[in-house]
Structure 1
């Protein structure tokens, strides 16, 4: 009887133990962040999509380069959330889009600023964050010397240089920019800035699962199923609206 009870307890305990997946993450508020509610809206979507498939996410927060390298080498199962690229397709299974991202050129309201194609930006004092990709046309123009871009260690620094008149424009994801302006800048400072309505680049961000981890191809299929379930429920739209509405009003 004791043996049967022990076997039942072990079997029941194993049944209760959820599957887990280890994912790396970084700091990019309001999408991602160790100290944000739900670790950011993108993390929340990833976590809840996996939960619908009975999988628990264990987050590991690192600087961006280390986060990607850890996942690529199979030290963790994957990384959230990243742009799709041919190089990443070689190293990762790439999910359906988790969130969309649109980069816009932020500038001072009292300065006339217009552009329709990247060549129009020639002669402008532009900034950019180190290692950020602002689209093929922009990157090629920078590499060839057609654009002079001052690469900076932080996006906050870039916006402050625009405010100070030291840069004509700085590209940022609009939602990230609004969040940063809301949390780090005064109302008076925010009122001095605007952005051009033409996006510099528009992309989707994805969950990456390492090709070096056995079972990750099937795991990605399950994630995509959970993500579609979450979208169908309306929660993805709800979560994105929750972060955008107060920020846009404050701007």
Structure 2
């Protein structure tokens, strides 16, 4: 009972703070803009009835405080840039290494299980970073894959026989296309996202998961460091995450998208 009261009080305080920031005691006129590149089921098509787990969660939590959420699909580098400039409020699915200057909730929305995928006829498997030698690895520019893999990508970024970084609105799809067409040997991707993509594209059986990096990486809705409203947004979203985890709403949302916590 006491914890519930504290969460309600924290949420009320955050809403009042946001009302002050926008120059009115009524925060319901506010629109919070979140963005990211397509990473379904984390975030999907903007005009879809199933816009993604993080999008629905943000809309529900902020909607309870009378704040509308606008979701935009842009490439990842653009999303980070716009948030740093204060043009949008938050980016979707960020790890702390993606944007260490951003504001994060204490509680992650979920965890990203980064795995390695090859063509189905490949015998290669991933057990450690040292296994990547001799493989042409596809990844997405400006994504964080954890400190060890980030260091590997950085050290070989100029060597296309080791690392090829895709960017733009179709970075993920480009990597899969390159893998299927034998232009690279391995793609590193979130397991949820790859499984969803293969199912939607009817490509089941053409790629296989050959190992995952550990540990799983916490991922967040990360808020702009340039906006005065961000600390209150973080506080409000944190309180909502705790409520939704405690009462089972977050788990039910994951189930609707056919996934579970890694």
TM-score range, shorter chain: 0.7 to 0.9
State the structure with more CA Rg. Answer: 1
**In 2, Cα distance between the equivalents of 1:176 and 1:236?**
18
Matching of residues 112-191 of structure 1 within 5 Å: 112-145=123-156, 148-153=162-167, 154-184=171-201, 186=202, 189-191=203-205
Work out the number of aligned pairs and report it: 227
| 1:73 lines up with 2:90 in the alignment | no
Q: Report the CA distance between 1:44 and its aligned residue.
A: 0.6
**In 2, Cα distance between the equivalents of 1:78 and 1:193?**
33
Tell me which residue corresponds to 1:98: 109
Gaps of 5+ in 1: 1-13, 246-251
1:24-82 deviations in Å (ceiling 9; x for gaps): 31322222131232521111111212223343323344333332222222233333331
- Cα 1:192–1:70, aligned 2, differ >3 Å: closer, same or farther? closer
Matching of residues 1-251 of structure 1 within 5 Å: 18-26=28-36, 27-33=38-44, 34-85=46-97, 88-90=99-101, 92-95=102-105, 96-145=107-156, 148-153=162-167, 154-184=171-201, 186=202, 189-199=203-213, 202-244=216-258
**In 1, Cα distance between the equivalents of 2:205 and 2:92?**
33
Q: What is the CA RMSD across the aligned residues, in angstroms?
A: 2.7
TM-score by length of 1: 0.78
Contact preservation (8 Å) 1:25, 1:81: no
Q: Report the CA distance between 1:19 and its aligned residue.
A: 4.9
- Cα 1:37–1:15, aligned 2, differ >3 Å: closer, same or farther? same
**In 2, Cα distance between the equivalents of 1:158 and 1:62?**
17
Contact preservation (8 Å) 1:24, 1:62: no
Equivalent residue of 2:177, what SS? helix
Gaps of 5+ in 2: 1-23
Quick check: 40-49 or 19-28, which moved more?
19-28
